[in-house]
Amino acid sequence: MLQKLGLIIFIAAFGLFIGTLGMNNYTLTDEILKENFKEEALFDAKIELASMVDQSYSNSYTFTNELSEGIKQLNKVYNAQQAWDKKIYEDTILSIVKASSNGYLTDNKGIMFLLTFGLAIFGALLFILPEAKIPAGIKNNGIYYNPAMTRKWLGICIGTFLISFYIILYFKPQYIANWTMLVDPVSKLINGGEASRWFMYGFLYTISILVMGIRYIIKYRHSKYQIIRTLSIMFFQTCIAFILPEIMSNLNMPSADLKNMWPLDYSFFFNYRLDKLLASGAFGIFLLVWGIALFVVGVPVMVYFFGKRWYCSWVCGCGGLAETLGDPFRQLSDKSLKAWKLERYLIHTVLAFAIIMTIGVLYTYFTGSYNLLGFIPTESLKSSYGFLIGSIFSGVVGTGFYPLMGNRVWCRFGCPLAAYLGILQRFKSKFRITTNGGQCISCGNCSTHCEMGIDVRAYAQKGQDIVRSSCVGCGVCSAVCPRGVLNLENAETGSRIMIAPDVLLGNLMEK
Amino acid sequence: MQHVVIIGNGISGITAARHIRKQSDCKITVISGETDHFFSRTALMYVYMGHMKFEHTKPYEDWFWEKNRIELKRAWVKTVDFEEKKLYFRLPNDNKEAKIGGSISYDKLILALGSTPNKFGWKGQNLKGVQGLYSYQDLESLQEITPSIKKAVIVGGGLIGVELAEMLHSRGIEVTFLVRENSFWNTVIPPEESALISRHIKENHINIKFSSELDEIIGDENGQVKAIKTKNGDKIECQFVGLTVGVSPNISLLKVPQGNMIGREKPAFLLGVGGIKLNLGILVNEYLETNIPDVYAIGDCVEHENPQKSRKKLEQIWYTGRIMGETIAQTIAGKRTKYQPGIFFNSAKFFDIEYQTYGQVPAELPEDTKTFYWEHSTGRISVRINYTTESQAVTGMNTFGIRMRHKVWDEWILSGKSIEYVLENLSKANFDPEFFKQHEAEILKKYNTETGSSLTLKSKKGIFSKIF
């Protein structure tokens, strides 16, 4: 009953959230143009957008469309003139839209924030919390009868929403200007300024991890490993990834997500970031050294002792979202041998791409030449990586495909850092998943609920330790095993059982 | 090339096929009428509960069989002609007609026929809505019947009974559980453990009726079950009856002589002299050989003529099926090998409580054996260790709610480690995930109090003890 009410409240709040996109009136003024255009472009803008100025629009879509169209024309001219510095980017359009808006939403951001985000969180919790009343233990009841979790209509709807969200967020953020407005009050509170699209995204991301993290903890509350791991994810996302960078930029320091690292943070060595760090004195140098030490020293040492899980399922933001928001979809990952093959090709290709791209960027940074080895254009290497991997793969596909291909699409097929961690885990780590003698009954719970698509059972039923580069150590295979067969363990590297015994423990026949 | 035919694609038959293929190049055919491919029978409950799909219960991808040259034939075997070394198949939709749908010849035959749920001749046991839970077909019928029902009765307090109760409960069906004994499964586990599980079943809102036996099942005018009557005279309304009073070897195929239907005067086989020797199951010697040359039997359908000390004649569990499969493969590949299961082990899960056992822990304590039992204050976690009075050597253990390491217990029992050694080193056997609360100190304390000893823990587990 309470749960149904929660669901209704959540859906209503979500509906209103979508509805806010159509709210407000819009009037573009000279003042706004002056604020948002560089002086050299202002004159052109005034001419190009003359027909819009001081007109009142009641439809956000028409207004944004017309504005975008006008700016597209301007950019065309600048492209032809090769006047790169005059070009106008999405974020500028976004702030023009924001500045031009007036009406209920603009005047009542606080109320609207509570009615959308506030109510959605409230509804979600009302739906989630009563689950704590049923006895603790694995309760995957009905997953395969649920249209959201089995690629049925609801799953497809959720996938479509997520995919569209990422496309708009990355490429046409001006259309979701109103969503950034909703979180302006939060942004003001934390950093004193208005919310950018990335603040809005970061907030939404953090809220998702927190709310769905609570769900996860309740679902797996019989396992202390799961509780502690999820609290870790929630902490790193909220404090280290979301709040700390805001505080840093508040203090006029270069802001950084201290747990993010190259090559996942692919722009770490981009010239503008290096310049900024190098220009920020001792703290900037510290960030630079920290960022390099993380992947040069931190990763090999930590993976040696704990496996890649220390990062992928305890710290990482992408992993954090996958483990929490993505948990209902974990069973959708493909377990076939074919998928495993594809995974290895793809993820190592991305790693190679990231390395070459970064070498190119650094080459350009230090030599000023835009052609690596005389023929590789570093700028297009950089921009194509950003577009193909940074935006399309990690965002649109990585999260958008949760309800279609499972919650670790990016981590499994695309993440270059996961590839790097994985190589170390496979060849130089104490970590393994141990199988318990002859106790496996081949039921397949472990494989079904492995988000990385590892056929865990294939190992368990022949008594071979699971040593796989992709394993993020989420521990769910161990949790869902009904016979106590699987355990995540660290021990001497040489003690990992890599070759299955002829027969399992419990058979004393003569061989 | 030698042709090995295996009837039955369960864990025994498939293990045999896989291990034969590892050691030999012979032609292998596996016959099953139940499904096209091997699946994990124990996982059918998870399919019903929606934890997984049927395809997830298949331990090997479908291409595996062709790649390993294991031929699969989907058919029910109607009869076997042991003299001609030939199998005859049932026609599809066959209703005991005297016709056959093709045949296949073998050089060596492995019978891995499995078992079938017991029915003890109750009135109404064949009504619609009355069934056991064993086969894929049982799952199908359960899926078909149960969406429209509100109340179910389960007869028989064993492992499958609890599973069926959990399954129906997951769909919001009110379950009444008739148990003949006065506490759950107390013919197999000692009273304390039996009480622990009984409490847990009740905690899950299963209405469990002890000392209750089924008298008859009552049907309505459509032949559909509408109630049951117990021997105490209680009448319980229900639309479904689950019969989970154990299983018996599935040997009906071998029981009816059907010689005339294959055009031979003499029956294809006879009970007793000249035929395959049957009792409760197919009788085999320690080499898993039946009385007929080149015919072997493994798994649930087997009855051991001379079981090893402390093992039963019928041992219908997953693990023994697998071990028999591993063993028979050696014999088929040319190395005649005795069936020698090691230290007994088994496991189960009762709703949320996991159970593991190693060695021998009978319900009633044998005379020359002592027992130590510890139970956590929550009443959901327990450990029992049995040891001999004379040498203090551990002989078996039960654990509820703590996972233990098979290998460690196997070695301890095999080498006859003393109870004191085992308790001092109990952490070595702990297989719970990291950060789980460990109870070894508390367990040891109880033993010290009870016996006046002053043992101390010799080893620790935990994430940091392993790393450095």
**Model ipTM?**
0.94
Whole-angstrom distance, CA of residue A510 vs CA of residue B357: 25
Residues of chain A in contact with residue B322, where contact means CB-CB under 8 angstroms, are 438, 504
Residues of chain B in contact with residue A488, where contact means CB-CB under 8 angstroms, are 433-434
Check B318 against A441: CB less than 8 A apart.
Answer: yes
- Nearest Cβ partner for A141 among B49, B59, B407: B49
Residue contacts between A and B (CB atoms, under 8 Å): 169
Q: Which of residues 186-245 of A touch B (CB under 8 A)?
A: 222-225, 228
Question: A302, A323, A312, A488: which is closest to B434 by C-alpha?
Answer: A488
B433: pLDDT strictly greater than 70:
yes
Domain ranges within chain B, ordered by starting residue = 3-116+249-332, 130-245, 345-467
Check A504 against B322: CB less than 8 A apart.
Answer: yes
Give residue B253's pLDDT.
Answer: 81
Contact A52, A28 (CB under 8 A): yes
- Nearest Cβ partner for B323 among A141, A145, A506: A506
- Nearest Cβ partner for A336 among B52, B61, B343: B61
How many Å lie between the alpha carbon of A143 and the closest alpha carbon of chain B? 5
Start-to-end CA distance of chain B, whole Å, equals: 56
Q: Is A111 on the interface with B (CB under 8 A)?
A: no
B152: pLDDT strictly greater than 80:
yes
Considering only alpha carbons, which residue of chain B is nearest residue A140? B51
B446-455 pLDDT, tens digit each: 999 999 999 9
Give the 3-state DSSP-derived string for A4-29, with helices as H, strands as E and coil as C. HHHHHHHHHHHHHHHHHHHCCEEEEC
Check B204 against A135: CB less than 8 A apart.
Answer: yes
How many Å lie between the alpha carbon of B350 and the closest alpha carbon of chain A? 9
Report the DSSP beta bridge partners of residue B104.
B87
Amino acid at A104: Y
Whole-angstrom distance, CA of residue B31 vs CA of residue B106: 12
Q: Is B323 on the interface with A (CB under 8 A)?
A: yes
B259: pLDDT strictly greater than 70:
no
Residues 6 or more apart whose Cβ sits within 8 Å of residue B171:
B49, B146, B147
B94-116 pLDDT, tens digit each: 655 556 778 999 999 999 999 99
Give the confidence band of B468 by pLDDT, cuts at 50, 70, 90: very low
- Nearest Cβ partner for B405 among A143, A436, A510: A436
Residues of chain B in contact with residue A475, where contact means CB-CB under 8 angstroms, are 433
Q: Is B309 on the interface with A (CB under 8 A)?
A: no
- Nearest Cβ partner for A337 among B61, B337, B405: B61
Give residue B96's pLDDT.
Answer: 57
- Best of A301, A335, A441, A461 to substitute, by most chain B Cβ atoms within 10 angstroms, is A441
How many Å lie between the alpha carbon of A124 and the closest alpha carbon of chain B? 23
Check B53 against A145: CB less than 8 A apart.
Answer: no
Q: Is B61 on the interface with A (CB under 8 A)?
A: yes
- Nearest Cβ partner for A443 among B42, B327, B463: B42
CATH for B345-467 (3.40.50.850, 3.30.70.790, 3.30.70.3340, 3.30.390.30): 3.30.390.30
A236 phi and psi angles, rounded to 5 deg: -60, -40
Check B59 against A458: CB less than 8 A apart.
Answer: yes
How large is the average pLDDT for residues B361-381?
97
- Nearest Cβ partner for B52 among A437, A441, A448: A448
B272: pLDDT strictly greater than 50:
no
Contact A325, A205 (CB under 8 A): no
- Nearest Cβ partner for A484 among B56, B354, B434: B354
How large is the average pLDDT for residues B235-255?
93
How large is the average pLDDT for residues B6-32?
97
Q: Helix (H, G, I), strand (E, B), or coil: what is residue A444?
A: coil
Give residue B122's pLDDT.
Answer: 95
Check A438 against B406: CB less than 8 A apart.
Answer: yes
Give residue B432's pLDDT.
Answer: 97
- Nearest Cβ partner for B339 among A141, A491, A509: A509
Residues 6 or more apart whose Cβ sits within 8 Å of residue B20:
B4, B26, B28, B329, B332, B333
How would DSSP label each residue in B266-326? S-S--SSTTS--BSSSEEE-TTSB-SSTTEEE-GGGEEESSPPTT--S----HHHHHHHHH
Give residue B197's pLDDT.
Answer: 96
Give the 3-state DSSP-derived string for A42-72, with helices as H, strands as E and coil as C. HHHHHHHCCCCECCEECCHHHHHHHHHHHHH
Q: Is B420 on the interface with A (CB under 8 A)?
A: no
Q: Which two tokens stand for residue A291?
A: 């960022």
Domain A430-495 has CATH 3.40.50.2020: no
Report the DSSP beta bridge partners of residue B396.
B359, B386
A466: DSSP letter: B
Contact A233, A314 (CB under 8 A): yes
CATH homologous superfamily for the domain B130-245: FAD/NAD(P)-binding domain (3.50.50.60)
Q: Is A460 on the interface with B (CB under 8 A)?
A: no
Considering only alpha carbons, which residue of chain A is nearest residue B432? A487
Question: A348, A327, A287, A273: which is closest to A479 by C-alpha?
Answer: A327
A459: left (phi over 0), alpha (psi -120 to 50) or beta: alpha
- Nearest Cβ partner for B351 among A137, A445, A484: A137
B317-344 pLDDT, tens digit each: 999 999 999 999 999 999 999 999 999 9
- Nearest Cβ partner for A136 among B348, B352, B463: B352
- Nearest Cβ partner for B319 among A222, A489, A506: A506
Residues of chain A in contact with residue B143, where contact means CB-CB under 8 angstroms, are none
Whole-angstrom distance, CA of residue A469 vs CA of residue A478: 18
Tokens 């099942």, residue?
B217
Contact B358, B387 (CB under 8 A): no
Architecture of domain B3-116+249-332 in this structure: 3-Layer(bba) Sandwich (3.50)
Residues 6 or more apart whose Cβ sits within 8 Å of residue A178:
A20, A21, A23, A24, A60, A101, A105
Q: Is A487 on the interface with B (CB under 8 A)?
A: yes
Check B436 against A224: CB less than 8 A apart.
Answer: yes
Q: Is A371 on the interface with B (CB under 8 A)?
A: no
Q: Which of residues 438-457 of A touch B (CB under 8 A)?
A: 438-439, 441-445, 447-448, 457
Residues of chain B in contact with residue A305, where contact means CB-CB under 8 angstroms, are 467
Q: Is B40 on the interface with A (CB under 8 A)?
A: yes
Give residue A249's pLDDT.
Answer: 87
B184-226 pLDDT, tens digit each: 999 999 999 999 999 999 999 999 999 999 999 999 999 999 9
Check B340 against A445: CB less than 8 A apart.
Answer: no
B199 phi and psi angles, rounded to 5 deg: -60, -45
Give residue B94's pLDDT.
Answer: 60
Residues of chain B in contact with residue A146, where contact means CB-CB under 8 angstroms, are 50
Check A224 against B340: CB less than 8 A apart.
Answer: no
Q: Is B351 on the interface with A (CB under 8 A)?
A: yes
Residues of chain A in contact with residue B467, where contact means CB-CB under 8 angstroms, are 305-306, 430, 490
Whole-angstrom distance, CA of residue B342 vs CA of residue B345: 9
B271: pLDDT strictly greater than 80:
no
Q: How confident is the prediction along chain A (511 residues), in pLDDT tens digits per residue?
A: 899 999 999 999 999 999 999 999 999 999 999 999 888 888 888 888 999 999 999 999 999 999 999 999 999 999 999 888 888 899 999 999 999 999 999 999 999 999 999 999 999 999 999 999 999 999 999 999 999 999 999 999 999 999 999 999 999 999 999 999 999 999 999 888 899 999 999 999 999 999 999 999 999 999 999 999 999 999 999 999 999 999 888 888 888 999 999 999 999 999 999 999 999 999 999 999 999 999 999 999 999 999 999 999 999 999 999 999 999 999 999 999 999 999 999 999 999 999 999 999 999 999 998 888 888 899 999 999 999 999 999 999 999 999 999 999 999 999 999 999 999 999 999 999 999 999 999 999 999 999 999 999 999 999 999 999 999 999 999 999 999 999 999 999 899 999 999 999 999 999 8
Peptide bond into A263 cis (omega under 30): yes
A390: DSSP letter: I
Q: Is B437 on the interface with A (CB under 8 A)?
A: yes
- Nearest Cβ partner for A438 among B56, B319, B338: B319
- Best of B405, B434, B460, B464 to substitute, by most chain A Cβ atoms within 10 angstroms, is B434
Give the confidence band of B84 by pLDDT, cuts at 50, 70, 90: confident
Whole-angstrom distance, CA of residue B70 vs CA of residue B78: 22
B270: pLDDT strictly greater than 60:
no
Q: Is B381 on the interface with A (CB under 8 A)?
A: no
Residues of chain B in contact with residue A135, where contact means CB-CB under 8 angstroms, are 203-204, 351-352
Sign of the Cα torsion B266, B271, B273, B276 reads positive
